[in-house]
Structure 1
């Protein structure tokens, strides 16, 4: 069954309370999800959906020595991400919509035989103290048109849900409902998802352990995701004329051949 929200691919819209509640329920409820991995306080589920042949993925992990505020900052901070995200080719904030919404660009390095992917998304967030949500969905912005040789993926609804369990004990849940496009067979993407998702969580945890020391030397006062005046003064303002429709977004996708793919092509150490 598809997850539906008021947020549509290609449309810039400020999320409603119901959208945040729906994303929270996706993170908390496990009905219809298949448990794929359960080890070392990390659980991975998958779920079929009606939007594409690619399964939704959900990863939940409990960190016994990371406070929720630090984890939230790590997930937000674009400068710090450049230091730890080994899959990122390029990341950039394009514009600010309001103090809790922006539009950004993210390009992902894929190991052979896969083509690189990129995404343009509206990112939205909500900080309730003991729980925090960050999620995104794909839009199309004139500042970042499709690039030759890179496949433009689609995020229907992807993000993080953080819950404070104790002072330095945080539960992180990641949910992705997306489509990498191209001519990848569904089995390949679903296999990669199960391999890759737990590794991403591990890298986020390692990044969180080093964040406070890094931030103390890199503009410690600058956290635009938490300070509205910084958010609205540090980025260009959103112009609706720069965002194309869903139809144009779909038409702009370049179909690139990735050759014949076999399971043997996907080696765990590459991810």
Structure 2
């Protein structure tokens, strides 16, 4: 997907995608997110849980993320890993990010373009209509949320630790170190397959309407 972000600098988009404190303000689908530890100056491991429409079970991820400034452009990518201290939780389906990435391109000093590519296995035997709905509605809506959040971020950041940006300044990073030897690649075929194929579209549609 791609979205043009008028009146948003590329650096601002980059900050918004990194700033977990701010994400709690605008990501209404998020249940929880936190950083687990750092691997290098531009790579870490983190946790994210996502609220799914009733009666589907909520999903969560443990991912290794890396990022790289490219002049005036920026790139962030992640994929799922296993961490021994963060196993799958009872009330969640552990989804798998095979590869997810953002590319932020600067168009000018006041505008940018955000590209989003993701290959995710949500796990569970989901009905085809669920996958179609996510593809057609949920992801594009999330892109618009990121854009709107980016418009408000500079004002919010001025009031909340304006100089704290560990993704830009590694010396600010206080996360514990994570050894690469403690991580293993999380593939879709290594998790229990939870059957949600009996979920009816009417129930999920009703849940979506209530949330709206």
TM-score, normalized by length of structure 2? 0.91
Does residue 45 of structure 2 align to residue 103 of structure 1? yes
Distance 2:185 2:111 in 1: 42
Does residue 175 of structure 2 align to residue 235 of structure 1? yes
Q: Indicate which of 137, 140, 144 corresponds to 1:202.
A: 144
Correspondences of 1:29-68 after superposition (within 5 Å): 59-68=1-10
- Work out whether residues 39 and 180 of structure 2, in 8 Å CA contact, stay in contact via their aligned partners in 1: no
Deviations 1:152-210 (A, max 9, x none): 00111102111011111110011111100012134421322211011101111111111
Distance 2:23 2:122 in 1: 21
Question: In structure 2, what is the equivalent of residue 17 of structure 1?
Answer: none
Question: In structure 2, what is the equivalent of residue 263 of structure 1?
Answer: 201
Q: Indicate which of 154, 162, 165 corresponds to 2:107.
A: 165
Deviations 1:237-264 (A, max 9, x none): 01234324557x854x344343612333
In the alignment of these two chains, the number of paired residues is: 209
* SS state at 1:166 partner: coil
Q: Indicate which of 217, 222, 231 corresponds to 2:164.
A: 222
- Work out whether residues 142 and 244 of structure 1, in 8 Å CA contact, stay in contact via their aligned partners in 2: no
How far apart are residue 74 of structure 1 and its match?
0.3
Correspondences of 1:86-235 after superposition (within 5 Å): 86-231=28-173, 234-235=174-175
TM-score, normalized by length of structure 1? 0.72
- Work out whether residues 42 and 66 of structure 2, in 8 Å CA contact, stay in contact via their aligned partners in 1: yes
Distance 2:104 2:181 in 1: 34
Residue segments in structure 1 that go unaligned for 5+ positions in a row: 1-58
Provide closer, same or farther for how the CA distance between residues 222 and 255 of structure 1 changes in structure 2, counting only shifts above 3 A: same
- Work out whether residues 149 and 256 of structure 1, in 8 Å CA contact, stay in contact via their aligned partners in 2: no
Residue segments in structure 2 that go unaligned for 5+ positions in a row: none
- Work out whether residues 80 and 186 of structure 2, in 8 Å CA contact, stay in contact via their aligned partners in 1: no
Distance 1:189 1:206 in 2: 25
Deviations 1:112-143 (A, max 9, x none): 02110000000011101321110100000122
Deviations 1:17-47 (A, max 9, x none): xxxxxxxxxxxxxxxxxxxxxxxxxxxxxxx
Alpha-carbon RMSD across the aligned residues, in angstroms, is 1.9
Q: Of the two structures, which has the highest relative contact order with CA contacts closer than 8 Å and spacing of 6 or more?
A: 2
